[in-house]
Structure 1
Amino acid sequence: MKLVIKNLSKTYKNSVRALDNLDLEIGAGMFGLLGPNGAGKSSLMRTIATLQKPDTGSIYFGDINVLEQQNEFRKLLGYLPQDFGVYPNMSALDLLHYFARLKGVSNTSQRKEIVDKVLEVTNLFEVRNKSVSGYSGGMKQRFGIAQLLLNDPKLIIVDEPTAGLDPAERHRFLNVLREIGTNNTVIFSTHIVDDVNELCHEMSILNGGRLLERNTPRVAEQKLEGLIWNKEVSREEAIVYNEQLNILSSKYNQDNRINIRVYSTESLQTEGFVQVKPNLEDVYFVALKKD
């Protein structure tokens, strides 16, 4: 089933235009929605999840009119918001059985089978009897995935799920998403370029409520072939180049010098720059710079 969004707009009471006539189609697999904080990602996720109404536009998931058939659509939806609250002093096992009953799974043996399955998928089976309130941040996020899988959703939305996770927890969480993304449509909203690069076969870059790029990560990188240049410079040189060139990013190395990456349609070899292979971070910064 395909998610089709057309002419979606949303302006809040404080006059912030969160979504600006947005058009987007998303098919099966992992889809990355990349953008800085305040780009409109969470507004789009909440609108798709029927938690807020847009000012204009339409959303269809297959034959379902999402904005008019909300109850029917919610049966097919799994949503993990940016801030996922849990009940204290209850084990993951008890909480998942509770959520399963709320979702209409009344048969005890069927419910046990479903709960055990989602615990296995999210690598929480061994800690199923521990209180969720005592879980680490990454475990809580994986529990969030476990609860949304209870009703076998066809569309899964996860909003900034790796923010605040340490590297080990992040990789465990991404592995869980990678597994469920093989059989579902998953929209993965984040400002972390590496997350999209590792997981998603298609992506969009969003800023100011508008789509700046819609492509596969590899094709988006290929479009910048021959246009990205790198040079190691001093801090003083970096300040000068920042006024002269379109610097995308700069990173200190171990010698306390700076590697700068520059977008340029003209050769910079005479300035001592070396042409380098584009990466997704370059794609991201070029899109934001052109906006």
Structure 2
Amino acid sequence: MKLKISGLTKTYKNGVMALDNVDLEIGAGMFGLLGPNGAGKSSLMRTISTLQSPDSGEIHFGDINVLNNPMALRKVLGYLPQEFGVYPNMSAERLLNYFAQLKGISSKEDRKKIIKEVLEVTNLWDVRNKSVSGYSGGMKQRFGIAQLLLNNPKLIIVDEPTAGLDPAERHRFLNVLREIGANHTVIFSTHIVDDVRELCREIGILNGGKILYRGTPTDAEAQLDGKIWMRIIERSELDDFARDFNIISSNFNQDNTLNIRVYSETQPNETFVMAKPQLEDVYFVTLKNDRL
């Protein structure tokens, strides 16, 4: 089933245009939606999830007209928002049993089976009797995935799921997403480029409520082939180089020098060497061009 979005617009009462004529088509597998904070990612996720209405546009998922029949989408939707909420003092297993009843799984045996499956998929089976309120941040996020899998959703939306997680928790969470992404349509919204590089075969870059790029990471990197240049400079030289060259990113080295990456159609000067394009370069170049 494909998700098709056309002409989607949304302006809030304060005058901020969160979505600006968004057109997007997403098929099965993991789709990464990249953009800085305030780009409109959460607005798009909430609109697709029927939590808010757009000013105009259409959304279809398979044969479901989402805006005309939101309940039909909700039956096949799994949604993990950026803020997942507060948990009662209840074990993961008991809480999932409660959620399963809310989702209409009336058979006790059916609930027991699906709860075991989702706890195993999210690597929480061994801590199923522990209170969810005592889980770490990463475990809570994985529990969020477990609860949304209870109704075997066809469309899964996760909004900034790794924000605030330590590296080990982030790795475990991404492994869970990788596993479920093989059999579902998953939209993974984030501002962390590394997460998308590891997981997603297709991406979209969103800023100012507009889709600036849509394609594969490989194709995006290929478009910058021969246009990314690199050199090491002293920290004190950064302002001068920023004035003279199109710096898209800079990173500190151990000796406190800076490794700068520059976008240019030709070699900026003889001190620069050509660098292999990375998805991070695509992201920064796209955002920078959008501001021009």
* TM-score category (smaller protein): over 0.9
1:163-174 residue pairs with structure 2 within 5 A?
163-174=163-174
TM-score if structure 1 supplies the norm length?
Answer: 0.99
1:38-117 residue pairs with structure 2 within 5 A?
38-117=38-117
Q: What letter is aligned with 1:229?
A: W
Unaligned runs of 5+ in 2: none
| Equivalent pairs, count | 290
Specify the SS of the correspondent of 2:53. coil
Q: What letter is aligned with 1:198?
A: E
Q: What letter is aligned with 1:274?
A: V
Q: Which residue number corresponds to residue 233 of structure 2? A: 233
Which digits, 9 at most, give the CA deviation of each residue in 1:149-180, with x for residues without a partner?
Answer: 00000000000000000000000000000000
Which digits, 9 at most, give the CA deviation of each residue in 1:18-70, with x for residues without a partner?
Answer: 00000000000000000000000000000000000000000000110000111
Q: What letter is aligned with 2:6?
A: K
Q: Which residue number corresponds to residue 133 of structure 2? A: 133
Q: Which residue number corresponds to residue 161 of structure 1? A: 161
Specify the SS of the correspondent of 1:151. coil
Answer whether contact 2:245 2:268 (CA < 8 A) is retained. no
Specify the SS of the correspondent of 2:94. helix
Q: Which residue number corresponds to residue 31 of structure 1? A: 31
Answer whether contact 1:233 1:258 (CA < 8 A) is retained. yes
Answer whether contact 1:228 1:263 (CA < 8 A) is retained. yes
Q: Which residue number corresponds to residue 186 of structure 2? A: 186
Distance 1:17 1:120 in 2: 42
RMSD: 0.6
Q: Which shifted more, 272-281 or 234-243?
A: 234-243
Answer whether contact 1:268 1:274 (CA < 8 A) is retained. no
Q: Which residue number corresponds to residue 123 of structure 1? A: 123
Specify the SS of the correspondent of 1:231. strand
Distance 2:202 2:282 in 1: 13
Q: Does 1:284 align with 2:286?
A: no
Answer whether contact 2:229 2:262 (CA < 8 A) is retained. yes
Distance 1:211 1:257 in 2: 35
Distance 1:257 1:235 in 2: 6
Distance 1:206 1:70 in 2: 24
Q: Which residue number corresponds to residue 210 of structure 2? A: 210
Q: Which residue number corresponds to residue 15 of structure 2? A: 15
Q: What letter is aligned with 1:100?
A: A
Q: What letter is aligned with 2:212?
A: L
Answer whether contact 1:86 1:132 (CA < 8 A) is retained. no
TM-score if structure 2 supplies the norm length?
Answer: 0.98
Distance 2:234 2:112 in 1: 62
Distance 2:176 2:80 in 1: 14
Q: Does 1:275 align with 2:235?
A: no
Distance 1:110 1:33 in 2: 34
Alpha-carbon deviation of 1:269?
Answer: 4.3
Which digits, 9 at most, give the CA deviation of each residue in 1:104-153, with x for residues without a partner?
Answer: 10111111000000000000000000000000000000000000000000
Alpha-carbon deviation of 1:266?
Answer: 1.6
Specify the SS of the correspondent of 2:149. helix
Q: Which consecutive segments of 4 or more residues in structure 1 shift more than 6 A? A: none
Distance 1:253 1:233 in 2: 10
Unaligned runs of 5+ in 1: none
Which digits, 9 at most, give the CA deviation of each residue in 1:257-278, with x for residues without a partner?
Answer: 10000000121242x0000100
Alpha-carbon deviation of 1:235?
Answer: 1.6
Distance 2:186 2:63 in 1: 18
Distance 1:35 1:87 in 2: 29
Alpha-carbon deviation of 1:193?
Answer: 0.3
Specify the SS of the correspondent of 1:50. coil
